[in-house]
Structure 1
Amino acid sequence: MKFLLFAKHIVCAILLFSVNFATAQKVVTRFIERDEAAEFERLDSFRMLHLMIAGNIYQNEQQIKNSYDSTRGRYSFNHELRYIQPILNLGDITIANLKTSFANDIGSPYSSPDEFALTLKYSGINTLTLANSNTGNIDKNTLQRTQQTLGTMDIVSTGAYTNNVQRNGNCPLMIYRKGFRIALLNYAILANRSEVSKEVVINVADKNLIESDLRAAKMQNVDFVIAYFDWGSNQQDIPSYTQQNLARWCFEHGVGLVVGVHPNAVLPMEFVEYYYNTQPQTGLAVYSLGNLLSSDTSLRNRNGIILDVELKKNNFTGAVTLGDYGFIPVWNYYDTITMKNRSKVSALPSAAVQDGNVFKQIPYIEQRRAANSAFEIRKALGTHSDEIQYNVTDNVVNNVDETVQLTNASLNNKLSIFKPEFMKQTDAPLLAKRQLNKEEIDTFYCIQFYAMKKLIPLDTNYYDHLKGFSVVEENGMYKYYSKGSYNLEEVMQLWLRVFKPRYKQSFIVALLNGRQVRAITLQSR
């Protein structure tokens, strides 16, 4: 009997260890309120710098249209980052990847109203990276105006330049805060670029270029280097060998932290063992931060993380090391209830939503989606990092929002005051349909994997490759199509790798202006 009882305890202990090992993390609770007096009470031999590093920030035409307040005659994007700005404002340096621009052209799919730049300022974001696919679709004048607009908001940017003269004077981006000299390097791996962007200088992920920029940073006595990459593909679930190899190479040449975006979903992080100046070191590589602000309603693309990092500097030796760090899961909620026939996206801290501390009117299904998203992120990252949870509540959100609106400044840069009344208001959304660009009228490819006489709903909760599918009724048949792309090779690889083994009758279809023009198989190629 005693043996059975002992065995029962052993089994329970093993199960408990397995559950803990699955997440392999602890939750670190922190407070939003800043105790500046406590900072001075710390030992004077060290000083601290707080970094908040987030992922992609998107805007699409529907989000812009739904953010227009016709009664006041102006745009308001306050709802998009309102619930996350108490956290972003805690960073001495808060970084994100901007996937839009400010061209003062409401008809452009790659541009946003200037009012959105003010929202970014109030949220606490003070540094933006521009080396990405969106910049590859804008011209030189648009980039110049984007830089000027961000400059008026006291937001610095890097990664894209109007010419090489501007790049030589501003790359690497040196940021000076609290006695730290931080260099931010930003690069992109672009499969293709639009012709309009040929005059724009975008940092490409070339080792020779990165090495040259690192030498320039060292000549300025840099304390710590951050490399921020736009890399990977949208269907990616794990880091590629190319990304891992590039991350290791960066560490071996003096980079202190490697982060990435582009897959629009959170990818695992890992510790990289390497040697620098003949000394063994360990670097942290976060391969994808996901989306801070999404433009896609698919569940896969609605999550992201904020990397919360503290840097520690020895005041006597000048050595800078990576201190405490952790991740904060973020969920994008598309609100279709508050305003009839309109949806508004809001970035929410997942843990606070899960516990019912913020946005208490959120539908139960969305609350569960936020919780499930956070759970998957914890499984992916928990073996390498702790989750950080701040005491974000509706009262905290309201207090922070009122403060930044009254002072016209973010909490992490109180002296940078901007008067919104001096901003030229952007024109109202266009009522008529805009003229389609070449990409939109070009051939579009997707995969037809079903054709049935009866419409049958598909459960996409367990099959990621079916998420975002569409159904078209044609000649009495219901045809099921996967998400597609203008890149035939990308769709072909997806078909060969995922769909063809599962759906023997599947094939690729080519659509022109929404109409099927041909079917593509291996034989037809």
Structure 2
Amino acid sequence: MRLIGGFLGAVFGISVSFSQADTARLQFVFVGDIMQHGGQIAGAYNEKKDAYDYRDCFQFVKPAIQRGDISIANLEVTHAGKPYKGYPQFSAPPELSESLVDAGFNVIITANNHSCDGGSNGVVKTLDVLDRLGVKHTGTFRSKEERDKNYPLIVEKNGLKVAILNYTYGTNGLSVAKPLIINYIDSAVMFADFKKARDMKPDLIVCMLHWGTEYQSLPNAYQKNWEKFCYDQGADMVIGGHPHVLQPVEVKEVGGEKKLTAWSLGNFVSNQRDRYKDGGMILMAQVQKVNGKTTLGNTEHVFTWVYPRQEAVVKPFYILPEFPYSDYRPDFFDTDSKAKYDLFFADSRSLFEQHSKGTQEMNLGKDQIITGYYQKLLKGYYAQEYPVEVYKNAEIIEPGFKALMHKVLGADGQYHWVVGYFETESDVKKARVPEAFIAQPKCVFISPTSYKVIP
């Protein structure tokens, strides 16, 4: 799994490694719709640097995202450029996708009903941003030649080969001119794409569909018909988004094989604050390949609720798994927010108890390492601060050192490169410093509302 040693080492100042003996296991992580309404864009703006910052939005889900060998997010906005704007035609700052990659997502899907919000320019600029970040993506294309070359998207990890397809029911009546291509749900197109995928001899075919009726908690006939079509064509997983609320997850048997359907993963992050719309889930599915046969293993889910909270110079829209946050930061929730948080988890469990099959809820708060990390985020922690030049030259200074560093937005609006999530000041001073770095790093204390250099 990719809860990487670098990340855990940064948390606790220790070296962590995982056995690579079983190279035929693969962990998927799927999340729902990544939105950017006007309130989110305004909240992310750091006027001190005239920039946008989304990193803290994902800090509580980063450990779960990094559990995935393949972690997939639906980017339901464009990066069409300024002026940045929310609904009804989205153009989000590129820092949003930068933060998705920083959080651990390594596949971004782009075919959804907002793909054409920025016109042809928006489609191209979005792809340019994702290419600059070096993240794999699929669903929209600059040309037929580009699509022919890169679709289906093939991802190879841990000795398994995965074909990923992505389609949308429509684009809100908007369209873009050729040669640009948006993948629409279309039987003839999909029939040919699935054949091409099967001819590539992958171990697994995953189809990501943007479909369904908004704000409805159960799948409709349209979804069920297309799910059957995908399984008839050889899909192993059908993962859905668009309704902006959770719909059930089902592990089922099709043709004697276990398949996974997630009808809707809900809103992973958005500014929709009404009941049922203010959260989503992280879906984790493991597959294994034994004697040449690939099968679906454990499927787990984590419900997540979105919490807009003003902190120092920005207002993160925190994505929160269930955890006793107030035990470590008593003022974290106001009364109204806590009531909505509790209601979302109660509603989600009720829906899944009645309609989901084959998936188990995972409680991240029972993981001691993750619990320790959360406590530090809430109460504050110590770290080593390095000049940005060290980050830029980290691989020269010491291979792998860059993986231990993370970027922090201080309460003063300035950015800092730090290493570690240490419990005490003395832990920082005992921590190892790369031999090639002559000057000693600063000891700093970081909390949501302060950034202090410790003499």
Using the size of structure 1 for normalisation, the TM-score is: 0.64
How far, CA to CA, are the matches of 2:152 and 2:402 in structure 1?
23
Secondary structure of the corresponding residue to residue 305 of structure 2 = strand
Residues 463-478 of structure 1: pairs in structure 2 closer than 5 A:
none
Q: Provide the residue aligned with 2:267 in structure 1.
A: 291
Matched, 1:305 2:281: yes
What SS class does the counterpart of residue 191 from structure 2 fall into?
A: helix
Aligned-residue offset at 1:195: 4.5
User: Partners of 1:359 and 1:118 in 2: how far apart?
Assistant: 31
SS of aligned partner of 1:62: helix
Structure 1 residue 94, shift from structure 2 partner: 0.6
Aligned partners of 1:137 and 1:197 also within 8 Å: no
Compared CA separation, residues 302 and 402, structure 1 to 2 (3 A): farther
- Structure 2: how far apart are the matches of 1:117 and 1:300? 25
Matched letter for residue 381 of structure 1? F
Among 346, 364, 367, the alignment partner of 1:375 is 346
Residues 112 and 171, structure 2, Cα contact 8 Å, conserved in 1: no
| Residue 179 of structure 1 pairs with residue 159 of structure 2 | yes
* 1:258, distance to aligned residue in structure 2 (A): 0.8
CA distance in 2 between partners of 1:86 and 1:213 (Å): 34
Unaligned runs of 5+ in 1: 1-30, 409-413, 422-525
Q: 2:105 aligns with which of 125, 129, 133?
A: 125
Kept after mapping to 1: 8 A contact 2:114/2:172: no
Q: Would the aligned equivalents of 1:354 and 1:368 in 2 still touch at CA under 8 Å? A: no
Which residue pairs with 2:247 in the alignment? 267
Provide the aligned length of Structure 1 versus Structure 2. Answer: 374
Q: Hey, what does 1:348 align to over in structure 2?
A: 320
Q: Report the counterpart of residue 224 of structure 1 in structure 2.
A: 204
3-state SS, counterpart of residue 301 of structure 1: coil
Of the two, which has the highest radius of gyration?
Answer: 1
Q: Is 1:326 matched up with 2:300? A: yes
3-state SS in 2 of match to 1:325: strand
Of 117, 120, 123, the residue aligned with 1:143 is 123
Contact 1:357–1:394 (CA under 8 A) maintained in structure 2 = no
Residue 72 (structure 2) aligns with:
95
2:42 aligned partner: 65
Task: Calculate the aligned-residue CA RMSD, in Å.
Answer: 3.4
Distance of 2:177 and 2:318 partners within structure 1: 31
Per-residue deviation, residues 82-107 of structure 1 (Å, max 9, x unmatched): 22112112211110100112223224
Amino acid at match of 1:94: S
Residue 334 of structure 1 deviates from its aligned partner by 1.8
**1:336-379 alpha-carbon deviations (Å, 9 max, x no partner):** 5x469x85421111x22578568961224323322321222222
CA distance, structure 1, for counterparts of residue 303 and residue 52 of structure 2: 28
Q: Does 1:386 align with 2:360?
A: yes
Q: Is this contact kept in 2: 1:140–1:199, CA < 8 A?
A: no
Segments of 4+ in structure 1 off by > 6 A? 357-360, 399-403, 405-408, 414-417
Relative to structure 1, the CA distance from residue 219 to residue 121 in structure 2 (aligned partners, 3 Å threshold; closer, same or farther) is: same
The range that moved more, 353-362 or 149-158, is 353-362
- Taking the aligned partners of 1:167 and 1:152, their CA distance within structure 2 comes to 18
- Measured in 2, the distance between the counterparts of 1:159 and 1:166 equals 11
What secondary structure does 1:169 align onto?
helix
User: Is the 1:136–1:193 Cα contact (8 Å) retained in structure 2?
Assistant: no
Q: Give unmatched runs, 5+ long, in structure 2.
A: 10-14, 393-399, 408-455
How far 1:306 sits from its partner (Å)? 0.7
Counterparts of residues 75-94 of structure 1 (less than 5 Å): 75-94=52-71
Q: 3-state DSSP class of the match of 2:125? A: helix
Aligned residue number for residue 94 of structure 2: 114
